[in-house]
Structure 1
Amino acid sequence: MHETLASLAYRHAILPDGPSIPRVSLHVARETSWPIPTLYRPMLGIVLRGAKRVTIGDRTLRYGTNHYFVGSIDVPASSAIIEASADAPYVAARLEIDQDLLSELVVDVNRDFDGETTAFAIGVMTSELLDAWYRMLRLLDAPNEIDVLAPLIEREIMFRILQGPQGALLRQAARADSRISQVRNTIAHLRANFDRRVRTEELVEITGMSAATFHRHFRSVTAMSPLQYQKALRLQEARRRLIAGADPMGAAFSVGYESASQFSREYTRMFGTPPARDAARLRASKN
């Protein structure tokens, strides 16, 4: 079934104006890639052909056709396609998590809340979950059925994850007083104030934890420290502004850097290329 799904998804992914399913996106690549820094949103990801490696903080995860990725909060990540070729392109699908649906299903599932957990993980693909994805992606060949059937299949996919070994991750994310939700609140504060120095005391006050407990739980959930998280946010926003046409010094100062040389060093360390050269390459690739 994987190959059937991969062929179907590939065919629709390369269509310029083909049908689409809400919150579902398709991704293809005809060659392997270097690690690409990005911001992972809450989502479920499956690989239909090939394999991918994702690094988040100090953790590295690899998944292919027998596994799925699940993430419950925004996390800076670096991903690389490690199996792909012109004859067998990498094909993947992603489902953005609907928080309202998640909260509703957590109540319906009626399972005990679990202890602390990380905000992302790899799970084993089951035949039931794969079948739900098959029915979801097959709707691309019947676009008149998407509005009615896609929400039902999306609900089933989420239900399957919640019932599985990684369900605790999503149940924690739906619970307002869980460690994941408390960390998510501090992440929202960091994202709203990425261009200034955020004191630890501000984040601690949001969670109500002690400083030591907060740092421990933030790293447990995100695999990085608050400082590392904010740095990744700044550099990714600076990159976006550079691609849009900002000059390196302007981009550096606009995201909170006070030293252009420090910005250049940290940018090069994260993206592998100095700011101006990286932006020029990315702008050229879009033309």
Structure 2
Amino acid sequence: MHDLLLQIVSRYAEAVAPPEGVAHTPIPGLTVIRCAAPTGLDYAISRPLACLVLQGSKRVTQGTATFDFSAGDSLLITADVPTVSQITEASADTPYYSLVMDLDPALIAELMVEMKAEVATARLPVHVEPTDHEVADAALRLMRLLDRPTALPVLHAQFVRELHYWLLSGTHGAAIRQLGWPDSHAQRVTRAVALLRAEFSQPLPIERLAAVAGMSPSSFYEHFRAITSLSPLQFQKQLRLIEARRLMTAEGSSASGAAFAVGYESVQQFTREYRRLFGLPPGKDSERVRASA
């Protein structure tokens, strides 16, 4: 099963993956990752997802916890949390391959009702477990649809649903149930995170975020930090800095241009906070990233 899924994923990646190795498929939320060499550190605020590693190895750090995983393992992220990731094992002869599926909270909620599943005790937002056979089988049939363009629009939704079902009923099930509970603290915080992602360059008072989440400001702050490991202000700051880094490395923006584009009013403050997160001032860091690419 694993070898056949690897063959299909590698064939698809070789055909369509751009130089950076991220190939978005026609199936919403499904992405193929290919990398032919170990990478530097990648900073992101990850969305809820399941990542099935098929070849090579990767390391992900979230807060003080570090996870190393390789072929046959699945990484599950169940909240919008800051992560630092790095592909640690890959080469031109044996590239790193993984299949990433964004988790759909609405679909999880629907399945939980049908499965009569109870909400589990809250767990840490990042987990690594061996990939369940049923999950790999569902992923295989989903990837096979890419070779059947006439069947793809008719069948992909039910195959995505099946993949979510096996994730929910397998080893990762307890970890993702919070995503499907409509009035859970995780779902309320998710509504505020959506606003932060959409308007990160604008001032966002905590009172507005708390209102979106349907909580008092003090309760919202407590639950937001418990779920994401950051305060709302720190979360917004990381969104700004990550986008500024992308503007400089991918689009050639200057440090000052990127700073103002993401909402900073002071280049000096931007430089201080950028260096604190990425370890180098903006100019040197963007030069290093471009050179390594």
Aligned in 2, Cα 1:206/1:138: closer, same or farther, shift over 3 Å?
Answer: closer
Alignment match, 1:132: 138
Q: 1:258 to 1:180 in 2, by over 3 A?
A: same
The aligned counterpart of 2:3 is 3
Find the aligned partners of 2:281 and 2:218 in 1 and give their Cα distance.
36
Residue of structure 2 equivalent to 1:145: 151
The alpha-carbon deviation at position 196 of structure 1 amounts to 4.3
What SS class does the counterpart of residue 182 from structure 1 fall into? helix
Taking the aligned partners of 1:186 and 1:152, their CA distance within structure 2 comes to: 29
1:233 CA displacement: 0.5
CA drift of 1:235 comes to: 0.4
Output one character per residue of 1:54-104: Cα deviation in whole Å (capped at 9) or x when no partner.
123333222222321223443332210012122211110111233443332
The structure 2 residue matched to 1:237, chosen from 225, 232, 243, is 243
Q: Distance between the aligned counterparts of 2:287 and 2:89, measured in 1?
A: 27
Pair 1:64-2:70 in alignment: yes
Query: Are 1:22 and 2:27 counterparts?
Result: yes
2:271 equivalent among 264, 275, 279: 264
Q: Which amino acid aligns with 1:171?
A: R
Structure 1 residue runs of 5 or longer lacking an equivalent are: none
Alpha carbons of structure 1 residues 237 and 8: separation in structure 2 relative to 1, 3 Å:
same
CA distance in 2, matches of 1:66, 1:16: 23
**Matching residue of 2:160:** 154
Percent identical = 38
> TM-score of the superposition, structure 2-length normalised?
0.83
Task: Spell out the pairing of 1:1-287 with structure 2 (5 A cutoff).
Answer: 1-16=1-16, 20-23=25-28, 24-207=30-213, 209=215, 213-242=219-248, 243-279=250-286
Alpha-carbon distance, 1:266 to partner:
2.5
CA–CA distance in structure 2, aligned partners of residues 112 and 16 of structure 1: 41
How far has the Cα of 1:206 moved from its partner? Answer: 4.3
Q: TM-score, normalised by structure 1?
A: 0.85
1:106/1:229 CA distance change after superposition, 3 Å: same
Q: What is the alpha-carbon distance in structure 2 between the residues aligned to residue 216 and residue 19 of structure 1?
A: 36
- Structure 2: gaps spanning 5 or more residues: 18-22
Residue deviations 1:5-26 (CA, integer Å, cap 9, x gap): 2232112102138994403211
Post-superposition offset of 1:200: 3.9
Shift, 1:241, TM fit: 3.1
Report how far residue 229 of structure 1 moved. 1.4
Change (3 A) 1:183 1:59: farther
How far apart, in 1, do the equivalents of 2:123 and 2:33 lie? Answer: 28
Worse-matched range after superposition: 16-25 or 238-247? 16-25
Offset of residue 204 of structure 1: 4.2
More deviation in 27-36 or 264-273?
A: 264-273
Measure the CA separation in 2 of the matches of 1:147 and 1:132: 17
Over 6 Å off, 4+ runs: 283-286
Q: How many residues align?
A: 286
